[in-house]
Structure 1
Amino acid sequence: MRLKRFLLRYYPPGIILEYEQRGNVRTKSIDFLDLTLETNPDELVAEIKKSEPLITESRADQVKELVLQLQQKQAQQDHHRFCFCKELKAHILPLTNVAFDKSGLRFITGSYDRTCRVWDTASGTELHTLQGHRNVVYAIAFNNPYGDKIATGSFDKTCKLWCAETGKCFHTFRGHMAEIVCLAFNPQSTLVATGSMDSSAKLWDVETGKEVSTLTGHTAEVLSLCFNTLGNQLVTGSCDHTVAIWDVASKRRLHTLIGHMGEISNVQFNWDCTLIVSGSMDKTCKLWAAGSGKCVATLTGHTEEVLDVCFDLRGQLIATASADGTARVFSATTHKCLVTLRGHDGEISKICFSPQGSRVLTAGSDKTARLWDIQSGACLQVLEGHTDEIFSCVFNYEGDAIITGSKDNTCRVWH
């Protein structure tokens, strides 16, 4: 093995090692999920040298310099105040979802008007209209970090794979017997997973467009799914009240996570692949050990359905959004509720952390999105202007831009 170069990753903090093995270029990451400004760089580098053969004495100074850069980035306080930049009359019918590419230079919108549109973030120019679906385009994703492909899942029972640069359709994935409502690329961008109202999930080969496997076992609609960061496992959440963990290589179901009393609204792995969080219509979230499938904790407090849930990028915090009009932030280690976010007038359907992890963004039926400080629970900003409920909200990778997508057929860009 020969180390070729280092790549720095700010969110979550880490270093990617690019190396050559038997003529093939491979990568592996060293994660610094516990890195703080108080961390001693020399001690950290000494630990890395012990556990990582690619980091030799001659590379120690380089690694230390990268650690210092990551600490400098952390020292930059996340005081960004967002200003309304532009409104895009994006579609002729309500939006379903919005998503950024890794660079933040482009974003996509899906709509009930059967199209997905690609936009230039800075200018608001429409770059491409992805046409061909015969029903609502409900689920959309870039193949980040690459950002050169887009997947769209539709109520027409198909998923399409597109070239992000040209708007050309590479493949149409056919095989589901009902609407596709969720999808995801694996981190290697070799597979697309789709979840459907037909109670199944499917894996598709990005290169050939062929179906790789059908993951069956759920007895009701598959509403959400997520690959872990290694790409070797997929988790699915269903209306049958269960969550399933699948081995991607063997296509076998490893664990069925039983305990919720209502349908699952969202599921997600944490960064280091050890935990899974699930939100449910039973008003609770559950935290599961990914290795054993055992329930580690039940996060309670909401008085209505939990409509969305997510980890921060370090996997140390969990945020929940509920139909009771509040959001909550929990510790992933102590399982305690750290703060309750109150201010929306109506249900909150979407929630996400800023890349830095110090802010939470929520979208509600009260036509506003709100930015919160997770330490104090204070509402820092109300993003107003939409004339109907907001279905989707996302940060870009740097955390200095936000897109909100609404039932009012528009999306808004905030910088």
Structure 2
Amino acid sequence: MRLLKFLLRYFPPGIALEYMQGGHVKTKIIDLLDLSAQTDIRDLAETIRASEPVITDRVMDQLVESLQKLQKKVCDTSMKRYYKYKTLKTQLCPLTNVAFDKLGTRCLTGSYDRTCKVWDIDSGKELLTLEGHKSVVYSVTFNNPTSDKILTGSFDKTASVWCSQTGHCLVNFEGHDAEVVVAKFSPTQNKVATGSIDATAKIFYLNSGDEVGTLEGHAGEIITLHYNNDGNEIITGSLDGIISVWDSRTLQRTSVLIGHRGGISNCSYNFDCSLIASSSLDNTAKVWDSRMNSCLSTLLGHDDEVLDLAFDNKGQKLATVSSDTTARIWDVSGSFQQLNLLEGHNEEISKVCFSPNGNQVLTSSLDKTARLWSLESGNCIQTLDGHTDDVFSCAFSYSGDTIVTASKDSTCIIWR
């Protein structure tokens, strides 16, 4: 074995060893979730070397330098304030969803005008218009981390993959009987999964567009879908109030998470896929043990429909937002207690996400604003004003240096 280089993963913290073995380049990721400002970096480097034969005396200084760089980035607790950098006058029709590429240099917008557009964050210029769908483009995503392909899902019952450099359509996926509202690349990037209003999900081969199979069993519309880390499992959330767990290799449903009394608005894995969280129109969120497929806790407190949720990057905290105009932060590492109540919006909150470093929470609302909150205090530290209609989506770039907000006013605002 011969070490080639170290690669840093900032959020959540980790370091990857890229090495040569048997003529093949391999990568091993070491999670460093407990890295803090108090961590002795030289002791940590010695611990890593003791368990990794590929690390020799020759590269120890480089390892220490890499870990110091990681520590500085991860342990920066400063509360960044953002300014309005660019307003992207995107499409004539209302937007549906937005997404960043891995480096935060480009973003996607889907629209009711049947297109997806690719934007340069620095210049604010439109790079590409992806045309071909015959109805609303609802779901948009890059195949991060490479970000060389774009996946769109449309109300025309199809999904498509596009080259992110040329805008050429590479492959179409057909077979659903109703609108496609969610589409995701598998972690191995050789398949894609789609979820539809027709109450099914489908898996397709990425290169050929051929259907691998259909995931059937829900009695209502599928509105959210996620792969686990190795791509061997998929969870789907439906308006039938059920979360289904599927083996993506056998196409069999391996478990059904039952307990909500209303439709599912979102569901998601945490970082290590040990937990699944679900939000529901029954005014609650639930946290499930993904290995035992059992409910660990029902999170009570919201007075209206819970519309979205998000784990922090370490998977130890959960944010929920509701039509009751509040957001709530929960400890999901053991106690399942509410940590903070975030109050300040005066209309329903549609989306929530954590900053990459986990110090801030971002929410978007029908009150035409997005807000940044301190995770420690629960106070609103900045209101992002500038839209003239509902703000329905918001996202951080990977580094946390940039925010995008998307509105029913057909614009996106880039904040830096």
TM-score band, normalised by the shorter chain? over 0.9
| AA at the equivalent of 1:258 | I
Distance 1:192 1:23 in 2: 30
CA contact (8 A) 2:11 2:74 kept: no
What's the counterpart of residue 384 of structure 1?
385
Pairing 1:166–2:144 present: no
Pairing 1:200–2:200 present: yes
- Superposition TM-score, scaled by structure 1 size: 0.96
CA contact (8 A) 1:371 1:382 kept: yes
Distance 1:364 1:90 in 2: 20
CA contact (8 A) 1:228 1:270 kept: no
Distance 1:247 1:2 in 2: 36
CA contact (8 A) 2:326 2:341 kept: yes
Report the CA distance between 1:53 and its aligned residue: 5.0
Report the CA distance between 1:127 and its aligned residue: 0.6
Distance 2:57 2:282 in 1: 54
Pairing 1:243–2:243 present: yes
Distance 1:93 1:44 in 2: 53
CA contact (8 A) 2:387 2:407 kept: yes
| AA at the equivalent of 2:298 | T
Label 1:20 to 1:176 Cα distance change in 2 as closer, same or farther (>3 A): farther
Q: What is the CA deviation profile of residues 130-181 of structure 1, one whole-angstrom value per residue up to 9, with x for unaligned ones? A: 1111111111100011111000000100001000000000011001111111
Report the CA distance between 1:396 and its aligned residue: 0.7
Unaligned residue ranges in structure 2 (runs of 5+): none
Deviates more, 1:129-138 or 1:212-221: 212-221
CA contact (8 A) 2:349 2:366 kept: yes
Label 1:203 to 1:78 Cα distance change in 2 as closer, same or farther (>3 A): farther
Distance 1:19 1:230 in 2: 21
Distance 1:19 1:266 in 2: 38
Alignment of 1:275-314 (within 5 A): 275-314=275-314
**SS, match of residue 18 in structure 2:** strand
Distance 1:242 1:184 in 2: 20
CA contact (8 A) 1:228 1:271 kept: no
CA contact (8 A) 1:370 1:381 kept: yes
What's the counterpart of residue 9 of structure 2?
9
Alignment of 1:16-415 (within 5 A): 16-49=16-49, 51-55=51-55, 59-333=59-333, 334-415=335-416
Aligned length: 415
Report the CA distance between 1:37 and its aligned residue: 1.3
| AA at the equivalent of 2:341 | T
Report the CA distance between 1:95 and its aligned residue: 0.5
Report the CA distance between 1:186 and its aligned residue: 2.1
Deviates more, 1:390-399 or 1:246-255: 246-255
CA contact (8 A) 1:255 1:292 kept: no
Label 1:30 to 1:306 Cα distance change in 2 as closer, same or farther (>3 A): same
Label 1:14 to 1:92 Cα distance change in 2 as closer, same or farther (>3 A): same
CA contact (8 A) 2:77 2:359 kept: no
Report the CA distance between 1:205 and its aligned residue: 1.7
Q: What is the CA deviation profile of residues 100-130 of structure 1, one whole-angstrom value per residue up to 9, with x for unaligned ones? A: 1011111010011111000000111001111
Report the CA distance between 1:56 and its aligned residue: 5.5
**SS, match of residue 11 in structure 2:** coil
Label 1:348 to 1:259 Cα distance change in 2 as closer, same or farther (>3 A): same
Distance 1:151 1:202 in 2: 14
Distance 1:142 1:400 in 2: 19
Q: What is the CA deviation profile of residues 296-348 of structure 1, one whole-angstrom value per residue up to 9, with x for unaligned ones? A: 11111101011000101111110001000000111111211100100001100
Deviates more, 1:58-67 or 1:332-341: 58-67
**SS, match of residue 391 in structure 1:** strand
Label 1:46 to 1:273 Cα distance change in 2 as closer, same or farther (>3 A): farther
**SS, match of residue 318 in structure 2:** strand
| AA at the equivalent of 1:347 | E
Deviates more, 1:223-232 or 1:354-363: 223-232
